[in-house]
Amino acid sequence: MFTFTNQFISNDNNVEFLKANMMGPNAMRVAEELASYLNINEDMRILDLGCGCGLSTLLLTKKYGASVFAADLWICPTENYERFQSIGIDDKTVPISVDATKGLPFANEYFDLLFTVDAYHYFGDKTEMLPSLIPYVKKGGYIAVAVPGLKNEFGKNVPLEMQPFWNDEMERTLRSLDWWKDLWSKAKGIEIVDSREMACCKQAWDEWLTSPNPYAINDIDMMKAENGKYYNLVQLIAKVI
Ligand SMILES: C[S@@+](CC[C@H](N)C(=O)[O-])C[C@H]1O[C@@H](n2cnc3c(N)ncnc32)[C@H](O)[C@@H]1O
């Protein structure tokens, strides 16, 4: 399943690139697992929403030859353009600044696939977000999301060992697979075709902890306390009907 990611990190320079550009659980590996449930090809136009530094964009362009609009809020498009030039994917990508909560600057039915890795939980936790995104995807196209989450909802019973790390943003964004399925089942115009816990969960989190990113260093003690008991990666795929 992870042929591209494993091949990519067999080169030491690529490992440094990956460590420098991860912003959470290894987005290239997570993207590769999510993509394995879709039929992506070089004729497709994909919106990579919340692309961050573009690790998922790199996977979609290099492994599948797809054209990708790499859209993000925090990372400036010029920075992504320079990065895309440095890795030879600038001809396949359009870096663009968007805030998904403010509406997207695209035509209706423009994309074959809306793909989002480790970002949707920041902006997609309200009932109205999914219906606001559906119009940008062609009928018969797909919306595919992978997000960090929980094996089971904590509710008010945050485990003792997690309490030093838990905060309001985590409470809002880290949800169980059932929670996401319930939210998505309220949307009209889609059919949920896949929802599951992801196989790469431990590996993607472990790879993130090797990054020099201060957030990764900060996460080391949290992941030691968590010890594989609570955190998850969940994916949902919906077909636009
Ligand atoms: C943890 S980073 C992950 C980025 C990338 N997909 C990855 O996995 O490396 C989360 C990303 O979500 C993006 N994001 C958060 N809120 C957003 C919004 N309202 N609209 C678009 N992107 C958003 C941020 O800009 C950030 O780059």
Q: Mean pLDDT, to the nearest integer, of 185-191?
A: 98
pLDDT the model gives residue 210? 97
> What is the bridge-based pairing of β-strands 137-150 and 111-117?
parallel
Number of CB atoms found within 10 A of residue 85's CB: 12
Q: Give the residue-averaged pLDDT of 156-163.
A: 97
Give me 230's structure tokens.
Answer: 């609570």
Between the CA of 72 and the centroid of ligand 1 the distance, in Å, is 6
pLDDT exceeding 90 applies to what percent of the chain?
100
State the pLDDT at residue 241: 98
Pocket test for ligand 1, best of 21, 58, 74 (most atoms within 8 A of CB): 74
- What digits encode the pLDDT tens for the residues 192-220? 999 999 999 999 999 999 999 999 999 99
**Which phi and psi (to 5°) does residue 196 adopt?**
-165, 165
Q: Give the pLDDT score at 177.
A: 98
Residue 114 near residue 211, CB atoms below 8 Å:
no
Q: What is the pLDDT of residue 36?
A: 98
What is the pTM (predicted TM-score) of this model? 0.98
- Tell me the C-alpha distance between 177 and 173, whole Å: 12
pLDDT digits (tens, 9 = 90+) for 53-110: 999 999 999 999 999 999 999 999 999 999 999 999 999 999 999 999 999 999 999 9
What pLDDT is stored for residue 80 in this prediction? 98
- Quick one: pLDDT band at residue 189, thresholds 50, 70, 90? very high
Q: What is the predicted pLDDT for the residue at 203?
A: 98
Q: From the CB of 23, is ligand 1 less than 6 Å away?
A: yes
Give the mean pLDDT of the chain. Answer: 98
Q: Is 52 in the pocket of ligand 1 (CB under 6 A)?
A: yes
Could you tell me if the CB of 147 is within 6 A of ligand 1?
A: no
Ligand 1 pocket check for 28: Cβ under 6 Å:
no
pLDDT band at 124; cut points 50, 70, 90: very high
Domains along the sequence of the chain with CATH:
3-240 (3.40.50.150)
pLDDT for res 97: 98
